[in-house]
Structure 1
Amino acid sequence: MTRLSTAALVNLWPGDVGDVYNGFIVASTPAAGLATIDSPPPSEAVQLNWLNIFYAAEWAVFAIFAIVIWYRTVRDTWTREQPGYREDEDDEDDEDDEDDEDPLPEGDRDDPVGAPGRGSRADADR
């Protein structure tokens, strides 16, 4: 047994169950010197608690966000598993792929360091 539990000990304790004492002591007569106090029942009037309302709204937004992320993940996975799917089909924003290959004119490109061309050391020595 790894824990001390009265529920587990009742099943293991030898003898009658009535021999086991509860963990609470209740005095039937009040102790001397103590006076009774008047404790009215709590008010059952319901008030609008904005903190609870905003907390519920926060969880609703979180749930919607989780569902949207789950949907996107499932949709993307399903799309990738379709026959004939290619990675470049996923780029919906790139409509002119021809312009993306060579965005700068020939003269405006930066040549690698040391390569003959405009602005290299090899041209400065000439």
Structure 2
Amino acid sequence: MLRTLLAPRLVALHLLVIGVLVSFTLLGRWQLGVFEASGQPRLAADPPPVAVTELTQAGRHTPVEAAGRRVTATGTYDAGGQLLVADRVADVDAPGGRAARDQGFWLLTPLRLTDGTLVAVIRGWVSSPQDPAAAVPEGTVTVTGRLRPAEQTDAVQRSARALPAGQVATVSTSELINVWTDAPLRDGFVVATAQEPASLATPVAVSPPTEGMGLTWRNLAYAAQWWVFAIFAVYMWFHFVRDAVRTDRANRTGQAAPAAPGGPAPGADIV
């Protein structure tokens, strides 16, 4: 049997099947990777900055499609209204609250625009409230950043400890309107990426807008198809090898093929 399996024609068959299996498996894995990648968010269009007043209003929620848009805002900071968002790292998408306890603070400062309304601005990140960078600049400033929707009050897992005065756990418009009561507050907040004059605080990283992509089920079907082809190749290889072994065994035992119906029996004399 071993000599049959190592016959040149079967060795060629073995090598062919191995090549088919490797190729079809890799092709199936490639199509599966395309399927998996199709569901991941991709960068959306990122238009030039617009005035924050074009995308936000007081008393109305910020449109979903405005999240992540680049905006500009010019006004003066209200130093007396500055708050510290506790237990945060310098990344707006990173988890806060208990997951980032004692990691630092966002500088949340109301910016009074020329129309008298307020917009919440994350000016940057500091490691402690005593950091000199927490000081609020005086005079007119121009902020460039990305607009974010207001956080929900349960957006973070809060610690059991009570926050001291001047600190909050989330950037929630519904909470801030009860703190900054001297002017209408626009919904959402701006994460500053640049400021004139420049800020000394560490910038908080904020990602550009993304859009969800639907899964391409066709690629999953292609992956399954390639793997079915690989299984079929193994099935055909098994049958070819089995037939070759049976034929070789029959030849070695001297068995002859059965006679055709109506013909003479093997070995019979013909008169």
Q: Which entry has the higher C-alpha Rg, 1 or 2?
A: 1
Q: Greater relative contact order: 1 or 2 (C-alpha under 8 angstroms, separation 6 or more)?
A: 2
Question: Normalized per residue, which structure has more helix?
Answer: 1
| Length-normalised TM-score, structure 2 | 0.18
Question: In proportion to residue count, which structure has more strand?
Answer: 2
